[in-house]
């Protein structure tokens, strides 16, 4: 048994952990990073990156299948999923090498980290001591407590599959459910989504969610909202209740995508670290109730997004404060993205707002791209002209929402953003169009 002293110990090498460790080391601190799996965490190995690689292949499949509408004869189109999966793995592999490079000045220890005290961690029988410990252990798929739950696969399984099922029933029409529904449908899988709430993507702007649901239904995806899944039977039959009536749907595979649960390191409870709904409770500096122990990323349950984890790591290091806004996106086809408050949330807060929409069909660029299906919605405070929210469903939604994030973070008013000259023809012209409709 060895004992080594550090300035900071980070547990977990996802985007919360590895970026924090690299940043701390770059500022001259001695940093140890413990990881029991592969570098990159959920985002790189079982989340954002592999799904985006699959999403790109799905876009190519859809575009190639639709080539005739662009005047291109592409012949017969077929999907070789084994090669799709190989490409995804290659993307992940090369990015993992980049993570190793970024961690050049960090002592990476591979193994299961256990907290022994507020400044001591044990990995593989060795002891590591530091005045600051940052927990970035992430999350794993949640499992519904229903009979037959063990018959379902999760997103981790699907992302490592090299073959696709003929059909799939997806329990949960949240972010993961809609991304997989969209991608699998593009590869020819027969998809049914069962969502408990009245609309898919609960928490998103209702107009955006409805537009995505309509677009995906048009692509042949069956989406049942208000469906309370009660059990899964062998042979992949999913039983659910709809308006009090029993219903069922059969498929060759069932994906459960009903949220994620935190992964807590051993020793945490014994130390008395406070939890909130099972996640590690933190304040705005990412500090737990135990001095010296911090938690960033999914494990604190504040915002289950990779970029939020990275940001929180910077906050935990004291390099910056939390921003007012964190934008997010759903990488479905078409994409959805949002920043700030939804219209419903504004109304619930008693804010006096104006909402304005612009549809992609009104954009020369969208029409030229063959992407007429989409909308931009801007929400403006009627009294102050402040932009309170932006919600987009359509091609390149995630890229477009960034401009509004900058405006909102910097306090740029709706008028000022509207008067900013936008290049013609670009999709971003839809932003001033929507603002103009909000301010009329």
**3-class DSSP state of 106:** coil
- CB-nearer residue toward ligand NAD: 138 or 356: 138
Q: Select from 260, 302, 365, 396 the one that contacts ligand NAD (CB under 6 A).
A: 260
**Of the residues 197, 237, 357, 402, which one makes contact with ligand NAD according to CB under 6 A:** 197
Q: How many helices (H) and strands (E) does the chain have?
A: 13, 25
CB of 115 to ligand NAD, least distance (A): 25
CA–CA separation, 53 and 310 (whole Å): 21
Burial label, 75 (beta-carbon count in 10 A; 0-12, 13-18, 19+): exposed
Name which of residues 214 to 243 contact ligand NAD (CB under 6 A).
Answer: 227-229
Site for ligand NAD in 240-259 (CB under 6 A): 257-259
Smallest gap, in angstroms, from Cβ of residue 416 to ligand NAD?
29
> From the CB of 250, what's the least distance to ligand NAD, in Å?
17
Q: Where are the beta strands (DSSP E) in 24-164?
A: 31-35, 107-110, 113-117, 120-123, 126-129, 132-135, 139-141
Query: To the nearest whole angstrom, how small is the minimum distance from the Cβ of residue 330 to ligand NAD?
Result: 5
Question: Residue 71 Cβ, how far from ligand NAD at the closest point, in Å?
Answer: 33
Q: What is the largest CA-CA distance in the chain?
A: 71
Count CA atoms within 13 Å of residue 357 on its CB side. 14
Q: How far apart are CA 439 and CA 431, in angstroms?
A: 12
Q: One symbol per residue from 123 to 162: x for binding ligand NAD (CB under 6 A), - otherwise; what is it?
A: ---------------------x------------------
Tokens of 84: 């799709």
Q: Which residue has the tokens 């029933």?
A: 169
Q: How many residues bind ligand NAD (CB under 6 A)?
A: 27
Taking CB under 6 A as the criterion, the residue among 174, 327, 334, 432 binding ligand NAD is 174
Smallest separation (angstroms) from ligand NAD to the CB of 194: 5
Q: Contacting ligand NAD (CB under 6 A), which of 128, 196, 294, 325?
A: 196
Which residue's CB comes closest to ligand NAD?
174
- For the CB of residue 58, give the shortest distance to ligand NAD in the complex, in Å: 14
User: Which of the residues 293 through 352 are near ligand NAD (CB under 6 A)?
Assistant: 304-305, 328-331
Of 33 and 337, CB closest to ligand NAD: 337
Piece of 64-72, 86-94, 111-119, 173-181 that binds ligand NAD (CB under 6 A): 173-181
- Name the residues annotated as catalytic: 424
Q: How far is CA 229 from CA 15, 144, 190, 413, 416, in A?
A: 33, 9, 19, 44, 48
Instruction: Please report whether residue 177 would count as binding ligand NAD according to CB under 6 A.
Output: yes
Select from 100-108, 118-126, 196-204, 419-427 the region that touches ligand NAD (CB under 6 A).
Answer: 196-204
> Is 195 among the residues that bind ligand NAD (CB under 6 A)?
yes
Select 31 or 49, whichever has its Cβ closest to ligand NAD: 49
Q: Taking Cα atoms as reference points, which of 93, 107, 89 lies closest to residue 30?
A: 107
Q: Does 194 bind ligand NAD (CB under 6 A)?
A: yes
Helix (H, G, I), strand (E, B) or coil at 168: strand
E-strand ranges in 203-274 read: 222-225, 227-233, 237-242, 245-250, 253-256, 260-262
Both structure tokens of 108? 């990476």
- Read off φ and ψ for residue 25, nearest 5 degrees: -65, -40
Q: Is residue 173 involved in binding ligand NAD (CB under 6 A)?
A: yes
Residues 420, 426, 432, 435, Cα dihedral to 10°: -150
Binding site for ligand NAD (CB under 6 A): 144, 171-177, 179, 194-197, 202, 227-229, 257-260, 304-305, 328-331
């Amino acid at each position: 048994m060895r004992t080594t002293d550090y300035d900071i110990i980070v547990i977990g090498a996802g985007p919360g952990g590895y970026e924090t460790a690299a940043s701390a080391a770059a500022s001259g601190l001695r940093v140890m990073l413990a990881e029991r799996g592969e570098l990159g965490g959920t985002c790189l190995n079982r989340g954002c990156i592999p799904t985006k690689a699959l999403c790109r292949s799905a876009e190519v499949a859809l575009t190639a299948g639709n080539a005739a509408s662009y005047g291109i004869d592409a012949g017969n189109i077929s999907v070789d999923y084994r090669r799709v999966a190989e490409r995804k793995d290659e993307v992940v592999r090369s990015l993992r090498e980049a993570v190793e490079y970024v961690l050049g000045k960090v002592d990476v220890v591979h193994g299961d980290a256990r907290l022994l005290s507020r400044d001591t961690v044990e990995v593989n029988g060795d002891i590591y001591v530091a005045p600051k410990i940052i927990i970035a252990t992430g999350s794993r798929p949640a499992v519904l407590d229903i009979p037959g739950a063990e018959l379902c696969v999760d997103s981790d399984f699907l992302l490592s599959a090299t073959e696709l099922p003929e059909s799939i029933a997806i329990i949960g029409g949240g972010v993961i459910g809609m991304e997989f529904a969209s991608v699998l449908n593009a590869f020819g899988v027969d998809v049914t989504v069962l969502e408990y709430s009245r609309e898919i993507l609960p928490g998103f702007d209702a107009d955006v969610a409805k537009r995505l649901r309509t677009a995906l239904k048009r692509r042949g995806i069956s989406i049942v909202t208000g469906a309370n899944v009660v059990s899964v039977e062998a042979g992949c039959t999913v039983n659910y209740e709809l308006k009090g009536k029993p219903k069922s749907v059969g498929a060759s595979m069932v994906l459960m995508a009903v949220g994620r649960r935190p992964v807590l390191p051993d020793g945490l409870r014994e130390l008395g670290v406070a939890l909130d709904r099972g996640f590690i409770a933190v304040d705005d500096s990412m500090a737990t109730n135990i001095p010296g122990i911090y938690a960033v990323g999914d494990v604190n349950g504040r915002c289950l997004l990779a970029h939020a984890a990275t940001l929180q790591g910077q906050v935990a290091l004291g390099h910056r404060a939390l921003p007012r806004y964190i934008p997010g996106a759903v990488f479905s086809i078409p994409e959805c993205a949002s920043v700030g408050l939804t219209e419903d949330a504004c109304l619930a807060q008693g804010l006096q707002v104006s909402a304005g929409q612009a549809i992609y069909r009104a954009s020369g660029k969208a029409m030229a791209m063959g992407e007429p299906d989409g909308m931009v919605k801007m929400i403006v405070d009627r009294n102050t002209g402040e932009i309170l929210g932006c919600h987009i469903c359509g091609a390149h939604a995630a890229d477009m929402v960034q401009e509004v994030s900058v405006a909102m973070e910097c306090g740029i008013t709706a008028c000022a953003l509207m008067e900013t000259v936008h290049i013609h023809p670009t999709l971003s012209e839809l932003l001033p169009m929507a603002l103009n409709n909000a301010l009329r």
